[in-house]
Structure 1
Amino acid sequence: MPNEFTLATAVVLPAQSAVTHLYKGVNLADAFAIRLPPGASSDPDLLARFIFSHQPSWVRNLTGIRDIIVARFGLKTARHLATLASGAKADRVGIFKVYSTSETEIVLGEDDKHLDFRVSVLCSRGAADGRQLTISTVVHCHNLLGRAYLLVIAPFHRLVVKASLRRAARIGWPDAAVQRDI
């Protein structure tokens, strides 16, 4: 049953996020936030690794279907990106390249011939008392293929982000005292 710490909601892109004004033109910009319970880590790198390593199983299935389709267009597949991640753990979180890190935010993403995207995992003080974790995504398309891809994938993207936040909350966020061993 949902509670205040398992409810992921759509929010505006945080003004303090590095991705908010990254691209001159964006084809998708969204953000989803969830409250972090007391005692949960506020390390954005640790939280990002936790979220992306504990995604719902249906997300893996969707990713497999996506890979089959996009491989025909010569686009990067999750399988290909996973091979890059296995060789360089420090500069990737799961299949995503790390673009920047700070005390409160990690920016991940990938560039491809059809589009570039960035995902921000930002830990900040919420509007109410307490902390919140916000995942923001911005996408810049380069061509018609990118726009067509985004049209198909955007509804799934939103479901995946919200479900991933809820799943991480249900499993239990890493404790503030936990080291980065995820």
Structure 2
Amino acid sequence: MSRAMQTGEWAVMPVPVPDASRVAQMYEAPYLADAYAIRLPEDASADPELLARFMFAHQPSWVAWLMSMRDALVASFGIKTARQLRSSPKPAGDERVNIFRIYERRAHEIILGEDDKHLDFRVSVMRETRALATGAHPYLVVSTVVHCHNRLGRTYITLIAPFHRRVVEAGLRRAARLGWPTVMKV
């Protein structure tokens, strides 16, 4: 793992969903579309799947509590719970990062998500280089887009959106504090 970056460099910034991301045009009129970026250390891995797995494996402990509360509340509405996603039989080729199904892998981006009766969503974890006054630097951008199918989906996403944003920001900050996986030197 790379050494922890300076506290000021753990800043998570809301950014537009990058045009280069596959999720940018995934849904014609997404009900929710947001993105957050964090600067990576120069020696951080360029593998978006590895970065995604690291971030989701090291969520703050309060996220697990929040997910268990969410699951208890939504189960009666027929919405998939995290437990169902983890334990349900998987069709051949169904690979996951944490509870999220992998939809697509690209050189600098992995697309995760899930479809349900109330909404479909996709999460992009994309490593990109951003040009700054101090030069070009690597960033990790996590983008989420949501397509709602009905009133239940719209109500659900309206209620959880503030929590979703805090979870993404906290996950990125925690991964930065722990130290992102680095490029293996041969």
TM-score range relative to shorter protein:
over 0.9
Could you say which structure has the larger radius of gyration?
A: 2
Q: 2:50 aligns with which of 46, 51, 66?
A: 46
| Residues 35 and 126 in structure 1, CA contact (< 8 A), matched pair in contact too | no
TM-score by length of 2: 0.91
Cα offset, 1:42, TM superposition: 1.1
In structure 1, the partner of 2:143 is 136
In structure 2, the partner of 1:171 is 178
Partner SS for 2:102: strand
| Residues 30 and 146 in structure 2, CA contact (< 8 A), matched pair in contact too | yes
> How many equivalent pairs are there?
177
Partner SS for 1:138: strand
| Residues 85 and 92 in structure 1, CA contact (< 8 A), matched pair in contact too | no
Partner SS for 1:166: helix
Q: Does 1:3 align with 2:8?
A: yes
Between the aligned partners of 1:147 and 1:79, the Cα distance in structure 2 is 23
Runs of 4+ that moved beyond 6 A: 85-90
Q: 1:117 aligns with which of 117, 121, 133?
A: 121
Question: Residues 81 and 24 from structure 1, CA distance in 2 versus in 1: closer, same or farther, beyond 3 angstroms?
Answer: same
Partner SS for 1:19: helix
The residue identity in structure 2 corresponding to 1:3 is G
Cα offset, 1:25, TM superposition: 1.9
Query: Which structure 2 segments of 5+ residues have no match?
Result: 1-5
Q: 1:107 aligns with which of 111, 116, 125?
A: 111
- Is the deviation greater in 125-134 or in 65-74? 125-134
Between the aligned partners of 1:153 and 1:40, the Cα distance in structure 2 is 31
Cα offset, 1:10, TM superposition: 0.1
Question: Residues 26 and 90 from structure 1, CA distance in 2 versus in 1: closer, same or farther, beyond 3 angstroms?
Answer: closer
The residue identity in structure 2 corresponding to 1:133 is L
Between the aligned partners of 2:140 and 2:73, the Cα distance in structure 1 is 32
| Residues 46 and 108 in structure 2, CA contact (< 8 A), matched pair in contact too | yes
Query: Which structure 1 segments of 5+ residues have no match?
Result: none
In structure 2, the partner of 1:94 is 98
For the aligned residue pairs, the C-alpha RMSD in angstroms reads 1.8
Between the aligned partners of 1:53 and 1:169, the Cα distance in structure 2 is 13
| Residues 79 and 117 in structure 2, CA contact (< 8 A), matched pair in contact too | yes
1:57-72 alignment runs, 5 A limit: 57-72=61-76
Between the aligned partners of 1:67 and 1:88, the Cα distance in structure 2 is 26
| Residues 94 and 101 in structure 2, CA contact (< 8 A), matched pair in contact too | no
| Residues 27 and 139 in structure 1, CA contact (< 8 A), matched pair in contact too | yes
Between the aligned partners of 1:150 and 1:38, the Cα distance in structure 2 is 35
The residue identity in structure 1 corresponding to 2:142 is I
Partner SS for 1:71: helix
